[in-house]
Amino acid sequence: MADRYGHVPRGPRGVLKAGQWSIQGLKAAWLHESSFRLEACAFLLLAPIALWLGASGIERVLLVGSILLVLAAELLNSAIEAVIERFGNQHHELIGRAKDMGSAAVFVLLMNALMTWSLILLPRLFASEG
């Protein structure tokens, strides 16, 4: 039975099903998206380094979280591209714009990760030299 907003309560079974769909999405991204594989491998390499180099819980969250945001954006970009490909690969200005903006979102979050890592770790590097 739906609530007054039209939402159907999920319950434990629905939450489990949503988790299964998420795992399917991760598997599909791994199988079909080379950029996702590259970024996932970077995450597997950098996450332990972030946990080791982060001086506090906040720094660890920022370092790891910045990379997770890149992965999330890559998943969304790949989803956009999959929907576009579903309807054919003919050139259209809006299709090109959508693909470019999805790619730009990944780029912006890559720059965010670079900035986060730099601002947290570079001051320590320079402080240890002095």
Do residues 75 and 36 touch, judged by C-beta distance below 8 A?
yes
Amino acid at 21: W
Kindly name the residue from 33, 74, 85, 93 that is annotated as catalytic: 74
Place of tokens 């790619």: 103
Place of tokens 């597997």: 44
Closest CA to 48 of 60, 30, 58: 60
- Is 81 one of the catalytic residues? no
Q: What ranges in 1-130 are assigned the alpha helix state H?
A: 11-32, 34-53, 57-86, 93-129
Which residues does the annotation mark as catalytic? Answer: 74
